[in-house]
Amino acid sequence: MSTIHTSAVIEDGAVLGENVSVGPFSFIGAQVCIGDDTTVASHVVIEGKTTIGKNNRIFPHAAVGTIPQDLKFDGEDVELIIGDNNTIREFTLLNPGTKGGGSVTKIGNGNLLMGYVHLGHDVILGDNCILANGATLAGHVELGNHVVIGGLTPVHQFVHIGDYAMVGGASALAQDIPPYCLAEGNRANLRGLNLTGLRRQMEREEINALKAAYRELFEQGKPLQEVAQNIFETTTSDKVTKLCEFIKTSKRGIPFIRVKNEDKNNEDNQ
């Protein structure tokens, strides 16, 4: 049985599943669909064509499905889709898509969006990601699965971040981060593999293969695309293949400090 506070406003047409809870002074628009066992706390606004799955928790003062922060938006039919088992903390802002970006913002399952997180229009968020307080994703950003974004980190529009990547807090990310990698700084650069995250999910052999590939890609001073293609053609590791595919298809480039051949030779001779 759903529990709706008497001060909440539920517009005609909204669809609420079984055991949905809506707290005081929250607003749910006519095109909203909320799945079973989802909790909407007090002072939450859910608008637009927004579909929310099962067993989500939405905390006070979240704004979900309000129109995109895009001056080109002209009231077209766009939507926001949220999966199951997500935690959406206080003062988060989640916008739907735009006509120019596919018209859909999509959030997967099992994600934690901490306070003041913003997901801009046409963002695609995978499963089991953690976005710490104040992380802000501009339009058209795409995150894979198990991605961690540190607090107060802005991510530039059209950036792509691969599975199991981590971006440190207070960074500013303007380029793509390959899967399994760690980046930080302003502007953010690769610092190595996200070893803490990988050790929680992968066997040692897989991690060792990624370590070897990372060294070859980013620490030998060789042309990145050429190295990625060579490794792609010879590796037997699915994880390494995924890493190389990401690099080969990156549109914004990979932010890393390129080692000059003479510098590498000097290091080898020391």
Of these residues, 122, 127, 163, 176, which one is catalytic?
122
Indicate the Cα dihedral angle 200, 135, 40, 84, nearest 10°: -40
Verify whether residue 160 is a known catalytic residue: no
Q: Report which residue type is found at 249.
A: T
Contacts of residue 52, defined as CB under 8 A and 6 or more positions apart, other chains included, come to: 32, 33, 34, 35, 38, 46, 58, 64, 82
d(CA 94, CA 63): 6
Given 35, 37, 118, 121, the catalytic residue: 121
Backbone angles phi, psi at 3, to 5 degrees: -120, 110
Active site residue 122: yes
Give the integer Cα–Cα distance in Å for 68 and 79. Answer: 10
Which two structure tokens, joined as six digits, stand for 23? Answer: 């707290």
Is 176 an active-site residue? no
Of these residues, 35, 48, 139, 168, which one is catalytic?
139
Residue by residue, DSSP assigns 17-55 as -TT-EE-TT-EE-TT-EE-TT-EE-TT-EE-SEEEE-SS
Signed CA dihedral, 224, 229, 233, 239: sign only: positive
| Geometric angle at alpha carbon 249, from 248 and 254, rounded to 5° | 70
Cβ neighbors of 236 (< 8 A, separation 6 or more) are: none
The residues annotated with a catalytic role in the active site are: 121-122, 139
